[in-house]
Amino acid sequence: MKVGDVHYRSIWRDAATGEVRIIDQRWLPHDFPIATLESLDDFATAIRDMWVRGAPLIGATAAYGVARQMERDPSDAALAEAYEVLHATRPTAINLRWALDEMRNVLSRLPEADRAEAAFAKAAAICDDDVETNRMIGVHGLDIIREIAAKKKPGERVNLLTHCNAGWLATVDWGTATSPMYQAMEAGIDIHVWVDETRPRNQGAQLTSWEMAGAGIPHHLIVDNAGGHLMQRGEVDMVIVGTDRTTATGDVCNKIGTYLKALAARDNGVPFYVALPSSTIDWTVSDGLAEIPIEERDGREVTHVYGRDEDGTARFVQISPDATPGGNPAFDVTPARLVTGLITERGVATPSREGLLDLFPERRSTA
Amino acid sequence: MKVGDVHYRSIWRDAATGEVRIIDQRWLPHDFPIATLESLDDFATAIRDMWVRGAPLIGATAAYGVARQMERDPSDAALAEAYEVLHATRPTAINLRWALDEMRNVLSRLPEADRAEAAFAKAAAICDDDVETNRMIGVHGLDIIREIAAKKKPGERVNLLTHCNAGWLATVDWGTATSPMYQAMEAGIDIHVWVDETRPRNQGAQLTSWEMAGAGIPHHLIVDNAGGHLMQRGEVDMVIVGTDRTTATGDVCNKIGTYLKALAARDNGVPFYVALPSSTIDWTVSDGLAEIPIEERDGREVTHVYGRDEDGTARFVQISPDATPGGNPAFDVTPARLVTGLITERGVATPSREGLLDLFPERRSTA
């Protein structure tokens, strides 16, 4: 998507130098630094410390991390090391494992001399596929928005609510939850987006708001507490969120707080959709609550908030007393029963094993 | 409650000068300024701009505002002016109107010469009654905590979750939701409190955490998003919150986000209690969602966060892009169907008209 007049992806290889570059997302919207990732440790740090985040982008970054490693040392040992180090960075998003598996499957059968080139080609293909996948998620999501818009009176806007950032910054481009929004804008549908700020990391305030402002999509930033009230008042027509891992039965693991919005949507008859590339489906897991590991992050993310002070300096401030520790589970699981539909690149699935297998019949043998 | 070694109330008259003093709560926990309120405008500003907040304390502050006014000008016109100006400060909390009605009922029948003294006496009585009311809420709430504790295995703690600040800073002393916590601590019950930070104003991070730390109650600060997940994992035994207005049918209006926690409590079989003095019951309202006005506050409260920087300076930082407006509804309504019980000074009421009238039979004639 465009930043000013320049079209960016969230990760790319510099055409001249071959270097892998990312937007260091920690400092948005107040700064827009571009970082070059060189060593395996650079890639691991960028994922672990959330220079990049969002399930699809984590996968793409890991793929390039493997490619860089292959360039330095194409041995089996180095491949295994890259897999292990990158896989250990974050436990919840399944795309990380998916991308690493994709890379290893391609590379392990090749002679060492061919691995670096093949690895970069595969990483680039993962990125290109992600872009096309997200474009298609937008096509299918747009159909749902169109249906809602068709029932509106003239002058009434379609109100969407999203949580966290499942935007282009969470993917390679387009985003998952935001792809239908961009396409609805292009189709001339009058949309407005309620952006949950998404504490503790404020991805909504820092990233989704910035994306919305950049694309000129009408939006308001709201606190995570506000969505239920807005649904009670009829101010939300549809919730769309992303996911870090969706089970084979349609349970949705996503940024902490998603479950609360799903409960409110159910209580108020608001459709609750999850947008995801099929690489986010963990076909090996049936019970999201019991089986998906939930990352517990540093309590400092709760007690300290990043922003820009009145002098224009970006800094952290501590919001709580020194004696108060923070508790910081990073994700929660929304049971399939609360989900209206899963918007994938192949269409909208019912959130159930059968619903998913109908769209992905090639999984019937393994599921 | 104690701050260091000194016992404070949240509002008091200075014994030597007769001045009305408050803790200016906007700057906690980083500063602890005491403010003296003189003019009617001082009192209105302190309520409107949230130097004081919390339904019971708003009422107590308004009562002293009327008393100050009577000292200056005990005329009917001045009394009416004080009522109007103070009543207009905040629309949602019903204790404001209740306290003003109490003051007017006492003062309007008195000759002007007697009004100032009677007004200060009545304001002091409202404060003392609030303290005793909250103590009794704690007695009744403690019974519930005792029952939960009795079912625990040795070494297991009782996990409470609270939203916003219904602590002593929201009342004159003890607090509503926190009174059972203090009394459980005194009774030797092993409790732990999950404190919702309560965006946008962060009353949990700034006030409740500070109260918990000051009283040595084990607690963690969590983001408002986390409570549902903790309930899914069995980490919450009971939710206790306060309320700004409860209807005659048991609908509970409280700080934005309360409704989401009530939904999660219901979905996970966690008891959801609301602690309130009976002055918070609006006997004239039956349908909370339709009839209670919800204050819409400045969007800047969403886009800017107060904290202390690394140099120790307390300041605001902007978390979002300049082009992003904030939407800021300040309260929501939790329907009675989601409430387990209403803990009042007279005992625990079923959240229904009959349940409330059983405890407050004197209202049967007017309800």
Give the gap in angstroms from C-alpha B241 to the nearest C-alpha of chain A. Answer: 14
Query: What is the pLDDT confidence band of residue A195, given thresholds at 50, 70 and 90?
Result: very high
The alpha-carbon gap from B233 to the nearest alpha carbon of chain A, in Å, equals 8
For B332, the closest of A229, A256, A305 (CB atoms) is A229
Cβ of A256 within 8 Å of Cβ of B226? The answer is: yes
Mean pLDDT across chain B: 97
Mean of pLDDT values over A181-204? 98
Q: How confident is the model at residue B199 (pLDDT cuts 50, 70, 90)?
A: very high
pLDDT band of residue A367 (cuts 50, 70, 90) is very low
Mean pLDDT of B49-71: 97
CA B263/CA B115 separation, integer angstroms? 48
**Per-residue pLDDT, A88:** 97
- Give residue-wise pLDDT tens across range A314-355: 999 999 999 999 999 999 999 999 999 999 999 999 999 999
| Residue recorded with tokens 């939407």 | B327
The domain locations on chain A are 2-129, 135-363
**Rounded Cα distance, B92 and B90, in Å:** 6
Q: Which residues of B touch A194 (CB under 8 A)?
A: 327
Q: What is the pLDDT of residues B109-161, one digit of tens each?
A: 999 999 999 999 999 999 999 999 999 999 999 999 999 999 999 999 999 99
pLDDT digits (tens, 9 = 90+) for B259-307: 999 999 999 999 999 999 999 999 999 999 999 999 999 999 999 999 9
**Given an 8 Å threshold on Cβ–Cβ distance, is A315 in contact with B316?**
no
- CB contact (8 A) between residue A221 and residue B307: no
Q: Would residue A244 show up in a list of annotated catalytic residues for this protein?
A: yes
Distance of CA A153 to the CA centre of its chain: 33
Q: Do A199 and B195 touch (CB under 8 A)?
A: no
| Total Cβ atoms within 10 A of residue B234 | 11
Contact A229, A261 (CB under 8 A): no
The C-alpha of B86 sits at a distance from chain A's nearest C-alpha, in angstroms, of 27
pLDDT of A136 reads 98
Q: Please list the alpha-helical segments (H only) found in chain A.
A: 40-48, 55-72, 76-87, 95-108, 112-150, 179-186, 203, 209-215, 227-232, 258-268, 288-291, 300-303, 353-359
For B264, the closest of A195, A263, A331 (CB atoms) is A263
User: Quick one: pLDDT band at residue B367, thresholds 50, 70, 90?
Assistant: very low
Distances (CA, A) of B297 to B49, B91, B255: 10, 11, 12
Are the C-beta atoms of B144 and B271 separated by less than 8 Å? yes
Q: How far is A345 from chain B (nearest CA, A)?
A: 29
Residue type, A211: E
> Across the beta sheet with A238-241, what order do the strands follow?
A219-222, A191-196, A158-162, A238-241, A272-275, A341-344, A347-349
- Mutation site for A-interface testing, chosen from B244, B306, B317, B331 by largest number of A Cβ within 10 Å: B317
Residue A341, SS3?
Answer: strand
Q: For domain B135-363, give its CATH number from 3.40.50.1110, 2.70.70.10, 3.30.1950.10, 3.40.50.10470.
A: 3.40.50.10470
Which CATH number is correct for A2-129, 3.40.50.720, 3.30.360.10, 1.10.760.10, 1.20.120.420? Answer: 1.20.120.420
Which residues of chain A lie closer than 8 angstroms to B29, CB-CB? 320-321
Contact B221 A302 (CB under 8 A): yes
Strand B238-241 and strand B272-275: pairing? parallel
Q: Which of A173, A196, A237, A244 is catalytic?
A: A244
Residue in A with minimal Cα distance to B329: A226
- Span A83-92, mean pLDDT? 95
ipTM over 0.85: yes
The pTM of the full predicted model, rounded to 2 decimals, is 0.96
- Taking CB atoms and an 8 Å cutoff, what residues of chain B touch A259? 228-229, 232, 264
DSSP-assigned letters across all residues of B175-244: -STTHHHHHHHHTT--EEEEEE--TTTTHIIIIIHHHHHHHT--EEEE-TTSHHHHHHTT--SEEEE--S
Cβ-defined contact of A29 to B321 (cutoff 8 Å): yes
Residues with Cβ within 8 Å of residue A258, at least 6 apart in sequence: A163, A164, A241, A252, A332, A334
